[in-house]
Amino acid sequence: MNVWGKFKSSKLAIGCLILLVIIVLLGVMAPLVAPNDPVETNVREKLSGSSLQYPFGTDQLGRCVLSRLLYGIRTTVGMSILTMIITISIGTILGVVAGYFRGWVDEMVMRLCDVMLSFPSEVMILAIVGMLGPGLENIIIANIIAKWAWYTRMIRAIVVQYMGKNYIHFAKVVGCSPLHIMKKHLFPGALGEIVVLASLDTGTVILSVSALSFLGLGVQAPTPEWGMMLNEAKNIMITHPTKMLPPGIAILLVVSAFNFIGDKVRDIMDPKYVDRRVKKGDFAKSRKSISN
Amino acid sequence: MRNYIIRRILLIIPILIGISFISFLLINLNPSDPAEVALRVNEIVPTDEAVTAMREELGLDKPFFQRYIIWLGNSLRLDFGNSYVNNKPVSGEILNALPATLYLAAVALIMTLGISMIAGILCAIFEDSIGDKITRGIIFVATAMPNFWVGLLLMWLFAVKLDLFPTSGMRGFTSVVLPATTLSLSYIAIYTRLIRNSMIQNKNENYILYGRIRGLGNWVIIKHILKNSIQSSITALGMSIPKLISGTVIVENIFAWPGIGRLCVSAIFNRDYPIIQAYIVMMATLFVVCNLLVDIFSAFLDPRIRRMT
């Protein structure tokens, strides 16, 4: 399926992708592009407005807001992507094993997933942070534990679909080892769909990481993080309300870009969605409502 | 139908046992010794004798499974032990905070239902009009806005600038408006989209075409579409009630709302494990029970589901 070709035809989706690439690059090159040290305090210049030295002004401790935003990409976006990669890896390993061997292995993994999924993920995250205590590593661990079950189940469903294909049967008949089949036949086929799963949910992880930091349960001062910057801005809301804008807008932009790409890719990957509407007639209208 | 309900209720028993076991396990997996924590939060120096005495008092000297069984038995009687911080029973603390949370969640739910129904129906009727496009834009932005930011912006605009509502606390009806709006905003976005899309889908069905040929008035047709498209949204709404209640954590902390979410976060800072544990068990149980009710309700509406499982 030519996902990329269809994806390319949407200008807005390409725009979102470019935006995300730029943001990630800015995060990677933060030491080069940031005008100031993000943790250096300068009380004499505190809460100043926009100036040449501090383009977005300074916060309550006189730290450069722009530099903190740029370094914050590393914590907020970087850590969310890392969380996603680990979660998906765990989900892929368990899902492929469960979907390939079926039987008692499958049964065990799936029942474990059932129990994990009976916890709402917000409560699970809070529970684990509660046990481990506040901290960045702990909210990453919490997010992984809260989400792996869902991915395992989804990836297992994808794998089960592939297991019925003739080339897998053939590989089994000619005596390939299970590991070889998983690595060479199952995984490459399922990879595309797994990547889609990941892109769908990264926005949610960013929201979750920054929300926990906002509550003070995540990143600890003075590490720059967008959620925590908002928390600091909250305390000076009455005197300097504009300080709430930069971190809020940053989160909004990144999350909506991730969400838009996720929606777009899902529409492309799920031909059912388009076909059903086409059958009803009214083709032009349905295309339009999908692309919006 | 009766068989279906009985089977479903029996199925949740192993899930509930799993939940209680995980909640219990989490506390015992944590790196610091609960006895030591209990001493520290009361500012007692944790000497060896004090720790041993505390372990005995908390029953930590017994083997793991025996403790689990005792804890499970107590939990069934809603006895979650005493808070480490003020030594009051946890169940009392939670019951004190629960009404505030339920009140907030109920107002948010009513707002979600009312606004998303009206907006969704209007968008579907006037599909592709300017109003529909604007609403869709708002929906897209609303799902991506972190609700803690929305809360702060609302607080600044309506409480600080315009001084219409109090900034925090729970005093009188006006104080619930801002937290409930913050809480319901993303749900309003989700359900407006859901109702709109399912109504538009129904609009193209044959029975509507037939209705139009029969010469039914516009209002009757809209009523038909609505009846057929609202069902899936109601089911989805039932599923999100526990999410709404657990989602109050952030909102309660912004607006200093005296509910269980705030209780839980302060318990996390104080390392007050019994409260955290009780919160987890309660929320997970609520989640399971709500799912059960939604399943039974959909089976009641749709006989096909009953036969399927």
- Do the domain assignments include residue A50? yes
What are the pLDDT digits (tens) for A228-278?
888 888 888 888 888 888 889 999 999 989 888 887 877 777 655 444 444
Residue type, B114: G
Contacts of B18 in chain A (CB under 8 A): 114-115, 118
User: How confident is the model at residue A279, as a pLDDT?
Assistant: 41
Rounded mean pLDDT of B221-225?
85
C-alpha A183/C-alpha B240 separation (Å) is 39
- Do the domain assignments include residue A287? no
- Do the domain assignments include residue A20? yes
What are the pLDDT digits (tens) for B6-23?
888 888 888 888 888 888
- CB of B129 within 8 Å of a chain A CB? The answer is no
Q: What pTM value is reported for the model?
A: 0.82
User: How confident is the model at residue B31, as a pLDDT?
Assistant: 64
Tell me how many domains chain A contains. 1
CB contact under 8 A, A234 and B254: yes
- Please tell me the least confidently modeled range out of A4-13, A65-74, A279-288, B286-295: A279-288
User: How confident is the model at residue B306, as a pLDDT?
Assistant: 67
- Three-state DSSP at B32 gives coil
pLDDT interval class at A52 (50, 70, 90): confident
- Three-state DSSP at B274 gives helix
- Do the domain assignments include residue A208? yes
User: How confident is the model at residue B32, as a pLDDT?
Assistant: 67
B219: pLDDT strictly greater than 60: yes
Q: Which domain holds residue A276?
A: 3-282
B171-210: b or e for each residue (b if 16 or more CB lie within 10 Å)?
A: eeeebbbbbbbbbbbbbbbbbbbbbbbbbbbbbeeeebee
Q: Are A119 and B287 in contact (CB under 8 A)?
A: yes
User: How confident is the model at residue A83, as a pLDDT?
Assistant: 92
Contacts of A128 in chain B (CB under 8 A): 26
Rounded mean pLDDT of A199-208?
85
Q: Encode B70-106 in three state secondary structure.
A: HHHHHHHCCCCCECCCCCCEHHHHHHHHHHHHHHHHH
Rounded mean pLDDT of A159-178?
85
- Please tell me the least confidently modeled range out of B9-18, B49-58, B209-218: B49-58
Residue type, B64: F
Rounded mean pLDDT of A88-102?
88
The 10 Å Cβ neighbour count of residue B277 is 24
Phi, psi for B59 (deg, rounded to 5)? 75, 25
- Do the domain assignments include residue A102? yes
A169: pLDDT strictly greater than 60: yes
For residue A130, the chain B residue with the least C-alpha distance is: B268
What are the pLDDT digits (tens) for A124-151?
888 888 888 888 888 899 999 888 898 8
Distance of CA B226 to the CA centre of its chain: 26
Cis amide leading into A31 (omega within 30): no
Q: What percent of chain A has pLDDT over 70?
A: 91
Distance of CA B53 to the CA centre of its chain: 39
CATH value at residue A254: 1.10.3720.10
User: How confident is the model at residue B141, as a pLDDT?
Assistant: 85
Residue A115: which of B22, B160, B200 has the nearest Cβ?
B22
Residue B144: which of A216, A230, A259 has the nearest Cβ?
A259
User: How confident is the model at residue A90, as a pLDDT?
Assistant: 92
- Please tell me the least confidently modeled range out of A170-174, B131-135, B227-231: B227-231
Residue A242 DSSP code = G
Residue whose token pair is 């990143």: A219
Phi, psi for A58 (deg, rounded to 5)? -125, 160
The average confidence (pLDDT) of chain A is 81
Q: Are B136 and B123 in contact (CB under 8 A)?
A: yes
In which element (H, E) is residue B220 found? helix B218-246
User: How confident is the model at residue B108, as a pLDDT?
Assistant: 92
For residue A255, the chain B residue with the least C-alpha distance is: B144
User: How confident is the model at residue A113, as a pLDDT?
Assistant: 87
Residue B280: which of A127, A207, A288 has the nearest Cβ?
A127
CA dihedral B240, B246, B248, B250 (to 10 degrees): -120
User: How confident is the model at residue A1, as a pLDDT?
Assistant: 52
- Do the domain assignments include residue A291? no
Contacts of B155 in chain A (CB under 8 A): 237
The average confidence (pLDDT) of chain B is 83
For residue A281, the chain B residue with the least C-alpha distance is: B204
